[in-house]
C-alpha cells in the first residue's frame, strides 16, 4: 500500500512517498527557517507564499528520487494534514492534495497534525504497545496524550498559555538569536553554566498542565536587570528548567495512569539535552521511552503518511470538497473521522 503524503501546516513544506510494506520510498522537507529568521517567528503570509513557491518542486523531486522504484500509477491514496495549523499554510497543502487526488482519481485521507506526531514513533514499525503516553512538545503544542489505541486519544495535560517550542522561540528572540529558537538555544547552552534560578510555574499543582509564559517573563526581567550576563548561561538555565518541568509533569502522568510506555515527539524532542535527560529518568523509573530520529521530530510528511495508512486501512476517507480547519481538537477529529 503506497501513499503520497503532504504536510504544510506551519513552516515546513514536506512531501513523502511511503509504503506500508517498504517504509520510506522517498521524501523531501524544505524548511522556511531562513525566511522567518529576521522576524523571530513564523509570518503566516510569508509561509503560505513559500509553500506555493516550493510545493511543485518538492513533488517533482520526490517523484524523481523514487523513479526507478515507484511512480504516480502506484499511489493508492493521498494523505494530508487537515488541521491544526496556520490556515494560510494549510490551504496550500490541502488544495495540492485535493488536486493530485482528483487528477489521479484516488482517495483522500485526512490526518490530524498531532496524530502525525504521535505516530512518528512508528517509523520503525515497532513503535510502542498500546496504551502509551505521548508527550507532544512542539512550536504550537505542549500536550500529554493518553493513546489507548489507534485514534483513541485522551488529552490529559496541556499548556495554559505558550507552547514549549514557542517559549524557546520567544526567549531566543529576546537573546537576539533568530528563528527557530530551539536549536539556537541548544547550541548556545552547550557553552553555558547554570547560573540563574528560573521559576517553575504550576509545578506544585497536582495536575498535568503546563504554563511557560511566566518563565518567559522571568527571562525578560533577568535580561533587563543584569547588564553583564552571558547569553550562554541564560540559554543553559532556561533549557534546564524547561527539561525539569517536562520531566516532572510526565513523571506525574506516569504515576496517575500507571502506564510505563512513553513517546516523546514534536520539534522540541529534537533537543539532545532533553532527549538525554528523559532517557536517563526513564531508565531509572523503568519507563520504556521512544523518541523518533531527529528528522522525524520536526514537522515532516512521513509521520502524516504513517497515520494516513492507519486511517486508510480502517476505510476512512474524505470527499474531494473537504476544506482545512485551523484548529480541530484531537479528540473531536478522532470522533469525526472514525
Q: Which does 271 bind (CB under 5 to 8 A by kind): ligand KG4, Zn ion, none?
A: ligand KG4
| Residue 83 binds to Zn ion (criterion: CB under 5 A) | no
CA gap 198, 236 in Å, rounded: 11
Provide the β-strand partners of residue 26.
Answer: 17
**Residues 5/80, Cβ–Cβ less than 8 Å:** yes
Q: Does 29 bind Zn ion (CB under 5 A)?
A: no
CB of 71 to ligand KG4, least distance (A): 29
CB 100, min distance to ligand KG4, A: 23
Whichever of 54 and 138 has its CB closer to ligand KG4, that residue is: 138
**Contacted by 110, from ligand KG4, Zn ion, none: CB < 5 to 8 Å by type:** none
- What does 169 bind: Zn ion, ligand KG4, none (CB cut-off 5 to 8 Å by kind)? ligand KG4
The values of phi and psi at residue 113, to 5°, are -55, -40
**Three cell numbers at 173?**
528572540
d(CA 268, CA 137): 5
- Is position 50 an interface residue for Zn ion (rule: CB under 5 A)? no
CB 184 within 8 A of CB 41: no
Task: Determine, following the binding rule CB under 5 A, whether residue 14 of this chain makes contact with Zn ion.
Answer: no
- How far apart are alpha carbons 184 and 36 in whole angstroms? 14
93 binds, among ligand KG4, Zn ion, none (CB under 5 to 8 A by kind): none
Q: Which is nearer to ligand KG4, 75 or 262 (CB)?
A: 262
Secondary-structure breakdown of the chain: helix, strand, coil percentages, each rounded to the nearest 5: 50, 20, 30
- The DSSP symbol for 27 reads E
Query: Strand (E) positions, the chain?
Result: 2-7, 12-19, 23-31, 77-83, 108-112, 132-137, 142-149, 152-158, 261-265, 288-290
In the 8-state DSSP scheme, what is residue 228? S
Q: How far is the CB of 89 from ligand KG4 (least distance, A)?
A: 11
Interaction of residue 299 with Zn ion, rule CB under 5 A: yes
In the complex, the smallest distance separating the C-beta of residue 130 from ligand KG4, rounded to whole angstroms, is: 23
| Partner whose binding site includes residue 108, from Zn ion, ligand KG4, none (CB under 5 to 8 Å by kind) | none
Shortest CB 103 distance to ligand KG4, Å: 29
**How far is it, in rounded angstroms, from Cα 201 to Cα 198?**
10
Instruction: Reduce the DSSP state of residue 109 to 3 states and report it.
Output: strand
Nearer to ligand KG4, 115 or 299 (CB): 299
Give the shortest CB-161-to-ligand KG4 separation in angstroms. Answer: 15
162 binds, among Zn ion, ligand KG4, none (CB under 5 to 8 A by kind): none
CB of 63 to ligand KG4, least distance (A): 24
Nearer to ligand KG4, 31 or 257 (CB): 31
Residue 270 preceded by cis peptide, ω within 30: no
| Residues 109-148: x where in contact with Zn ion by CB under 5 A, - otherwise, as a string | -----------------------------x----------
From the list Zn ion, ligand KG4, none, partner contacted by residue 165 (C-beta under 5 to 8 A by kind):
ligand KG4
Task: Give me the residue label for grid cell 506500508.
Answer: 20
Q: Buried (b) or exposed (e) across 262-300, using 16+ Cβ within 10 A?
A: bbbbbbbbbbebbbebbeebbeeeebebbbbeeebbbbb
C-beta of residue 126 within 8 angstroms of C-beta of residue 256: no
Q: Which residues bind ligand KG4 (CB under 6 A)?
A: 10, 138-140, 165-166, 168-169, 180-183, 186, 266-268, 270-271, 298-299
State yes or no: residue 232 binds Zn ion (CB under 5 A).
no
Q: Residues 35, 16, 64, 75: is their CA dihedral positive or negative?
A: negative
Q: Which residues bind Zn ion (CB under 5 A)?
A: 138, 299
Amino acid at each position: 500500500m503506497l501513499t503520497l503524503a503532504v504536510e504544510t501546516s506551519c513552516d515546513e513544506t514536506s512531501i513523502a512517498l511511503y509504503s506500508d510494506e517498504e517504509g520510506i520510498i522517498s521524501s523531501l522537507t524544505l524548511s522556511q527557517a531562513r525566511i522567518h529568521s529576521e522576524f523571530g517567528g513564523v509570518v503566516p503570509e510569508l509561509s503560505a507564499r513559500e509553500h506555493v513557491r516550493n510545493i511543485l518542486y518538492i513533488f517533482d523531486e520526490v517523484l524523481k528520487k523514487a523513479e526507478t522504484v515507484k511512480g504516480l500509477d502506484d499511489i493508492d491514496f493521498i494523505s494530508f494534514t487537515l488541521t491544526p495549523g496556520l490556515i494560510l499554510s494549510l490551504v496550500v497543502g490541502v488544495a495540492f492534495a485535493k488536486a493530485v487526488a482528483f487528477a489521479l482519481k484516488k482517495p483522500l485521507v485526512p490526518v490530524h497534525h498531532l496524530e502525525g506526531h504521535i505516530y512518528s514513533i512508528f517509523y520503525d514499525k515497532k513503535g510502542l504497545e498500546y496504551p502509551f503516553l505521548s508527550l507532544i512538545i512542539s512550536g504550537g503544542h505542549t500536550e500529554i496524550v493518553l493513546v489507548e489505541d489507534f485514534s483513541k486519544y485522551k488529552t490529559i495535560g496541556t499548556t495554559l498559555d505558550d507552547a514549549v517550542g514557542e517559549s524557546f522561540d520567544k526567549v531566543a528572540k529576546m537573546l537576539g538569536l533568530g528563528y527557530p529558537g530551539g536549536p539556537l538555544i541548544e547550541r548556545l547552552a552547550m557553552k553555558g553554566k547554570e547560573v540563574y534560578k528560573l521559576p517553575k510555574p504550576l509545578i506544585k499543582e497536582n495536575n498535568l498542565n503546563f504554563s511557560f509564559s511566566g518563565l518567559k517573563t522571568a527571562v525578560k526581567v533577568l535580561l533587563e536587570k543584569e547588564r553583564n550576563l552571558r547569553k550562554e548561561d541564560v540559554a543553559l538555565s532556561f533549557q534546564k528548567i524547561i527539561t525539569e518541568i517536562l520531566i516532572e509533569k510526565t513523571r506525574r502522568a506516569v504515576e496517575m495512569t500507571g502506564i510505563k510506555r512513553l513517546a516523546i515527539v514534536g520539534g522540541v524532542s529534537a533537543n539532545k539535552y532533553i532527549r538525554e535527560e528523559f532517557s536517563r529518568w526513564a531508565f531509572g523509573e523503568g519507563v520504556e521511552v521512544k523518541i523518533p530520529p531527529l528528522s522525524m521530530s520536526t514537522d515532516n510528511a512521513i509521520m502524516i503518511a504513517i497515520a494516513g495508512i492507519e486511517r486508510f486501512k480502517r476505510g476512512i476517507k474524505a470527499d474531494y470538497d473537504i476544506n482545512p480547519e485551523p484548529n480541530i481538537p484531537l479528540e473531536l477529529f478522532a470522533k469525526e473521522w472514525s
